[in-house]
Amino acid sequence: MMFAKLGRGAVRSSSSESGLAYLLLAPVVILVGGLILVPVFGTLVLSFFRDVTFLPPVKFIGLANYRRLLSDPDFWNSTFVTVMFAVVAVFFETVLGLFYALVINEKFRLRGVMRAVVLIPWAIPTIVSAKIWQLMYNFNYGLLNYLLVHLHLSSHPVNWLGTPLSAFTSIVVSDVWKTAPFMAILFLAGLQSIPSALYEAAMVDGASMFQRFWNITLPMLRPIIVIALVFRTIDSLRIFDLIYVLTGGGPAGSTTSVSIYGFKLYILGDFGYGSTVSVFTFVLILIFTIVYLKVGRFQEGMKR
């Protein structure tokens, strides 16, 4: 690990040296502390208050917001939507990302161009990709319905963003399109670090392409897959931009993520309860991260 080496980095150490180190670190500590840690702490504090813009005064109400949270069906619905989204989207991202990585790891002409092409969905703003998908999902003149009807795959157009299940699916599809490239890049680096001698030995033993994939590629990639899953799960649990544009959380709350729910509360001016939801969003991410890291380490232990 990178951490293990950090301690050894010192050339010499003296008290003036650590003074300089603190000076070099000061901007980071001030910015991250002042604009991230303090706001997070402030949000935590606010979650114990009744703070509604149009109904002053701000008042300490203890755990009342948390009691409201526990009995709020909209909140539990948003938690369910968020977790479902994270599980489904991250699964398909991993599969598609692995497919991308396997292809662009091969030697062929224009490989460099292909790697850039794969990165394009990742590089453009999420809002832009959301708008493009929204247009493609359009009921009357969207590309998807046009193709569905004209290729005779369906007799009637689909109301993509209009029903709960299709809206959820549409969001997953757009998100997978946008984020599979990130997975692909991590997996590609993993593929490149697998010694080619392993494949050569397997080929001498007569292993087929698919046997080599199952018995060499996948097991060797496992540590990177775990890392990629952690990154992407953390990120997908905070999904906001895409849903904000595509459905705004509807229809009937079927695509309301916890971030969307919290944001709506803020927009309504309910900062106290909005903060409570935000605190919970963070707790949700924390739970997933801890579980992943535990499971990841557990698997490493199994290998030995």
Partner 1 sequence: MREQKKKRILVWIGVVVIAFICLSPFVWMLVVSFAERPDFLASEKIPYVFTLQNYKQIIGTRDLHVMDYFKNSLVVAFVVTVAAVVIASFAGYAVSRMRFKGKMAIILGVLAVSMFPQISIVGYLFKLMTAIRWINTYRALIFPYIAWVMPISLWILVSYFMQLPTDLDEAAMVDGANRIQALIKVILPLSAPGIFSTSLLVFISAFNEFMFALMLTTDYHARTIPVGIALFEGLHGQIPWGQMMASSAIASIPLVILTLIFQRYIVQGLTAGALKE
Within 283-302, the residues that bind partner 1 by CB under 8 A are 285-286, 289
Q: Measured in whole angstroms, how far is the alpha carbon of residue 289 from the centre of its chain?
A: 12
User: Is 99 a residue that touches partner 1 (CB under 8 A)?
Assistant: yes
**Is the Cβ of residue 127 or residue 218 nearer to partner 1 in the bound state?**
127
Q: Which of 89, 118, 191, 229 binds partner 1 (CB under 8 A)?
A: 118
Distance CA 93, CA 164 (A): 21
Shortest distance in whole angstroms from residue 31 CB to partner 1:
4
65-73, 85-93, 115-123, 291-299 -> range binding partner 1 (CB under 8 A): 115-123
Shortest distance in whole angstroms from residue 296 CB to partner 1:
13
**Number of residues in contact with partner 1 under rule CB under 8 A:** 105
243 CB-side CA count, 13 A: 28
Q: Which of 75, 85, 160, 244 binds partner 1 (CB under 8 A)?
A: 244
Distance CA 95, CA 225 (A): 11
Binding mask 172-191 for partner 1 (x = CB under 8 A): -----x---xx--xx-xxx-
Shortest distance in whole angstroms from residue 192 CB to partner 1:
9
Shortest distance in whole angstroms from residue 78 CB to partner 1:
11
Shortest distance in whole angstroms from residue 70 CB to partner 1:
19
**Is the Cβ of residue 168 or residue 236 nearer to partner 1 in the bound state?**
236
Shortest distance in whole angstroms from residue 197 CB to partner 1:
19
Torsion 232-280-54-49 (CA) sign: negative
User: Is 106 a residue that touches partner 1 (CB under 8 A)?
Assistant: yes
Residue 73, C-beta contacts closer than 8 angstroms, at least 6 positions apart? none
Using alpha carbons only, give the angle 170, 132, 137 rounded to the nearest 5 degrees. 40
User: Is 17 a residue that touches partner 1 (CB under 8 A)?
Assistant: yes
Q: Which of 228, 249, 255, 256 binds partner 1 (CB under 8 A)?
A: 228
User: Is 13 a residue that touches partner 1 (CB under 8 A)?
Assistant: yes
61-69, 162-170, 241-249, 293-301 -> range binding partner 1 (CB under 8 A): 241-249
Distance CA 92, CA 180 (A): 8
**Is the Cβ of residue 210 or residue 298 nearer to partner 1 in the bound state?**
210
66-74, 85-93, 158-166, 268-276 -> range binding partner 1 (CB under 8 A): 268-276
